[in-house]
Structure 1
């Protein structure tokens, strides 16, 4: 991978934030049931405190619980991804009760958090290169970033489906492996955009 915000030497460490965030979201939304994401620790947020809040307020509270404070660009990107993932799932499922979310919706929040946060971290790393490679054509740069975003989301969904099909449970290590695999694919497939 080319050098960008952090370069290739720190990509794995930076992507681990994405994996931890996704696992933290799942841990909270699943209330810890059937998930080995927090080694038996209680969820970071009591879901009953979210009853009656708007979807955006729920998303912001969960983002704060999973990733408190903005210390770096990656942290800000992860918090934004958490909020976007949760609010998009809740907006698509208006009647869902966040205090008792069906497992498939908690899983969808996990996958979206993972893909959105990984994309945000990738953009911090390769966004300037994509813009330079577009030779000042902002529309082309945005189209390329959108193409990468769509690819990342679809690939995360596909990778998660494979992991689930072999019986793996949601965990930070599962999320980290998916993140590493997808990041490598993005860098191989979209090298010409850099």
Structure 2
């Protein structure tokens, strides 16, 4: 999960690069969002995914890039008029939280997927329903923990995005500990 939280922090870093505060302005993200202006959503998502987790080192790396690309692409597709060079804070945070939840879902399925398949006895529809249920639950768990953080006065910034991702992920993983035993 360390790479997933770093990747989510990287997504936040890149997307908030155009609107960084003066205290953080000296820190440049690994990809300038201005270079993405005018590109299709899928290409923007792929470039961000490659920037936050470059190279084809392992299956985990590929999974993280897939999670980043899916998160960014889905947020941009749902908000078609959004300007990648100046995304509102709520869309940046949505990309961030979705990256975490998609990564966590992929890791959970890698751990419990075989058991889930055996439990449905070849019923593809039931397997799909259970996968969707787990995916929805993971996504909502991340949203809930992140909302709780925000309601407690927590502020996400380029500087602390990875640390917050680790904290929120630890809270969500506590929920799923019984799934892995």
Q: Is this a same-fold pair by TM over 0.5?
A: yes
1:77 to 52, 58, 63: 63
Q: Alpha-carbon deviation of 1:167?
A: 2.1
Moved more, 67-76 or 93-102: 67-76
Q: Alpha-carbon deviation of 1:49?
A: 0.7
Alpha carbons 1:148, 1:186 under 8 Å: kept: no
Q: Alpha-carbon deviation of 1:159?
A: 0.6
Structure 1 partner of 2:171: 181
The CA distance in 2 between the partners of 1:151 and 1:113, in whole Å, is 15
RMSD over aligned Cα atoms: 2.1
1:134-145 to 2 correspondence within 5 Å? 134-145=120-131
The CA distance in 2 between the partners of 1:119 and 1:73, in whole Å, is 15
Runs of 4+ in 1 over 4 A off after TM superposition: none
The CA distance in 2 between the partners of 1:20 and 1:131, in whole Å, is 30
TM-score, normalised via structure 1 length: 0.83
1:26-65 to 2 correspondence within 5 Å? 26-31=12-17, 33=20, 41-65=27-51
SS in 2 for 1:121: helix
TM-score, normalised via structure 2 length: 0.88
The CA distance in 2 between the partners of 1:122 and 1:70, in whole Å, is 21
The CA distance in 2 between the partners of 1:69 and 1:124, in whole Å, is 21
Gaps of 5+ in 2: none
The CA distance in 2 between the partners of 1:72 and 1:130, in whole Å, is 24
Q: Alpha-carbon deviation of 1:72?
A: 1.7
1:6-21 to 2 correspondence within 5 Å? 15-21=1-7
> How many residue pairs end up in the alignment?
175
Gaps of 5+ in 1: 1-14
